């Protein structure tokens, strides 16, 4: 089974030039149910020649108040990504899991550091909803 078919989001490490000592901040939002794994990031490095670069370093800067974040290893099977028609790359997958009965928002911050030393902060907000809640049609 392909991981890429299971993950709702793919983030390729493509950091823009940042002056030393400065970090770019990205805000991201997700929704899910309490006490389930929610995919909040998929991190890899792809070189211009479509081969895998070194994996980035993922650091938890500010932990969530009502859950935990874990990172596992996986693979990204990408097709038609810019000039890369097909690539199979190692990746890190970040997962968030809330406390069993927590309903509401939880926020945490991770830092993604590339092999070139460039860093990006990601502030991630997860909204946890009870089963059956959400928008009707």
Statement: the pTM of the whole predicted model exceeds 0.85: no
Query: Nearest Cα to 21, choosing from 113, 109, 119?
Result: 119
Q: Is the pLDDT of residue 6 over 90?
A: no
Mean pLDDT computed over 36-49: 93
Angle at 90 between CA 107 and CA 86, to 5 degrees: 115
pLDDT tens sequence across 92-124: 999 999 999 999 999 999 999 998 889 999 999
Q: Is the pLDDT of residue 39 over 90?
A: yes
Q: Where are the domains of the chain?
A: 3-128
Burial class of residue 123 (count of CB atoms within 10 Å of its CB; 0-12, 13-18, 19+): middle
Least confident among 45-49, 92-96, 128-132: 128-132
Q: Is the pLDDT of residue 57 over 70?
A: yes
DSSP letter at 17 equals P
Mean pLDDT computed over 65-89: 93
Query: 3-128 has which CATH code?
Result: 2.60.40
More confident residue, 132 or 130: 130
pLDDT band of residue 22 (cuts 50, 70, 90) is low
- What would the DSSP string read from start to end of 18-72? --TT--EEEEEEEEE-TTS-EEEEEEE-B-TTS-B-PPPEEEEEE--SSEEEEEE
């Amino acid at each position: 089974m392909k991981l890429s078919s299971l993950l709702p989001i793919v983030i390729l490490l493509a950091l823009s030039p940042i002056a030393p000592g400065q970090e770019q901040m990205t805000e991201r939002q997700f929704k899910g149910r309490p006490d389930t794994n929610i995919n909040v990031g998929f991190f890899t490095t792809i070189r211009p020649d479509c081969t895998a670069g070194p994996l980035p370093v993922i650091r938890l800067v500010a932990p969530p108040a009502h859950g935990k974040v874990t990172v596992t290893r996986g693979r990204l099977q990408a097709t038609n990504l810019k000039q890369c028609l097909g690539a199979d790359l190692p990746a890190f997958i970040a997962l968030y899991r809330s406390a069993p009965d927590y309903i509401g928002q939880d926020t945490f911050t991770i830092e993604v550091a590339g092999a070139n030393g460039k860093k990006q902060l990601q502030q991630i907000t997860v909204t946890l909803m009870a089963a059956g809640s959400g928008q009707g049609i």
